[in-house]
Amino acid sequence: MINIQKIKQDFPILSQKIYGKELVYLDNGATTQKPIQVIEKLKSFYSEINSNIHRGVHYLSNKSTEEYENARKTVKEFINAKSTKEIIFTKGTTEAINLVAFSFGETFINEGDEILVSQTEHHSNIVPWQMMCKRKGAKLVVIPAKANGELDLEKYKLLLNSRTKLVAVAHVSNSLGIINSVKEIIDEAHKVGAKVLIDGAQAIQHLKIDVQNLNCDFYTFSGHKIYAETGIGVLFGKEETLNQLSPYQGGGDMIKTVSFEKTEYADLPFKFEAGTANYVGAVSIAEAIKYLNNIGLQEIENHEKELIDYATEKLLEIEGLKIIGTSKHKTSAISFVLEGIHHYDAGLILDKLGIAVRTGTHCAEPTMKHFGITGTIRASFAIYNTKEDIDKLVLGINKVKLMFG
């Protein structure tokens, strides 16, 4: 059995007091906290190993390079990619999506082509496509959501056609916590020859990911949401597809040879990693994955399922509280509104009680529009959260209701 109290002790920040109160951190969708194992790894890496990678023939450089490439292997195994060539380190999900939007756009998109994104995406999975479509004269088409926040797959199928070149959908929507039916979305897209990018920023830390089983063409996530550093993320892409794409950024390390007349690009994965890679960030992802594997992904999923079920039950008992996104397929995040109370007001008071939640649009304005609201209060969970955290949230909400009643 998973021992949450012990896990909690691995996260130094969780013993912080906020305004003299114990911190109840329920903003894990925005970023997760880091276990001491990851923090200590940063320290030991910078104190014992650090040197630029791929660049020197000296001992430390080789050692750094080895740790970096091992991190790539760890990620490859974690998501079951076929080859380390399919693992590109980026600075985060947002950059990964921008990379695909640009490079796929340059290579494959012509005027009149269509890109599909869903109504419930994070801005990072909307704006890059808008920008690319504008540049290329392509069309951004929206997969509508149903009243409960699930994507309308029937309508989705009708939208697919021979002009559809790429479908970009979140595995788990950040504002609602809903797990989208990505397998079906991918299979349907492939029938018309479209590629699929899955934004896994809110999935990788909660669900076991198998990119071969999903059969997605691209999968993206951020280190900072999976207990690792900020400034690092991953783009998985099928080798064959990545090979076809033109590079995104130019610079050191992504070239074979450079001359003013002709520059040849390096092979995968380096072709997409221009400049000094954030090798320490990559190592921190590997360390975080090791930490999660030690606990066990199934254990984590079970624990987080228990949390969301408990939270849903307890929150629904509160009068005037309405959950936004009532699909049954959810993980680790609940969005809700309080009748007659603005989410900002609620968030401010909860904060004073030491409870960190996120309020607002969650970088998902079109989702808010879909529900006809200006924002929600979102409680999002991670491995170190407990039922007591949820009890405190419930108490906090009741206090909020009292103050604004």
Q: At what angle do helices 279-295 and 36-48 cross, to 10 degrees?
A: 140
Looking at 91-153, which runs of residues are DSSP E strands?
114-118, 139-143
Stretch that binds ligand PLP, among 104-112, 118-126, 204-212, 333-341 (CB under 6 A): 118-126
Q: Which of residues 36-95 bind other proteins (CB under 8 A)?
A: 53-55, 57, 59, 61-62, 65-66, 69
CB atoms within 10 A of CB 281: 23
Rounded to the nearest 5 percent, the helix, strand and coil shares of the chain are 45, 20, 35
C-alpha to C-alpha distance for 364 and 55, rounded to whole angstroms:
41
Build a one-symbol-per-residue string for 31-70: x at contacts with ligand PLP by CB under 6 A, - elsewhere: ----------------------------------------
Local structure of residue 307 (DSSP, 8 states): H
Cβ distance 256 to 265 under 8 Å? Answer: yes
Buried b / exposed e over 348-386, threshold 16 CB at 10 Å, is ebbeebbbbbbbbbbbbebbbebbeeebbbbbbbbbbbb
Q: Which of 220, 335, 361, 385 binds other proteins (CB under 8 A)?
A: 361
Segment lying near other proteins (by CB under 8 A), choices 213-221, 276-284, 319-327, 352-360: 352-360
Residue from 229, 233, 206 nearest 219 by CA: 233
85-114 positions binding ligand PLP, by CB under 6 A:
92-94
Kindly state whether residue 165 participates in binding ligand PLP, applying the rule CB under 6 A.
Answer: no
Q: Which CB atom, from 93 or from 376, has the smaller least distance to ligand PLP?
A: 93
Q: Which is nearer to its own copies, 65 or 180 (CB)?
A: 65
Which residue among the candidates 198, 363, 383, 397 is catalytic per the annotation?
Answer: 363
Indicate the SS3 state at residue 13. helix
Is 133 in the active site? Answer: no
Q: Return the axis-axis angle of helices 93-108 and 127-136, rounded to nearest 10°.
A: 20
Of 142, 352, 356, 394, which lies in the binding site for other proteins, with binding defined by CB under 8 A? 352
Q: Does 345 bind other proteins (CB under 8 A)?
A: yes
33 binds, among its own copies, ligand PLP, other proteins, none (CB under 5 to 8 A by kind): its own copies
**Interface with ligand PLP (CB under 6 A):** 92-94, 122, 124-125, 170, 174, 199, 201-202, 222, 252, 275-276, 363
Could you list the active site residues? 363
**Interface with other proteins (CB under 8 A):** 19, 53-55, 57, 59, 61-62, 65-66, 69, 256-257, 342-345, 347-349, 352, 359-361, 374-375, 403-404
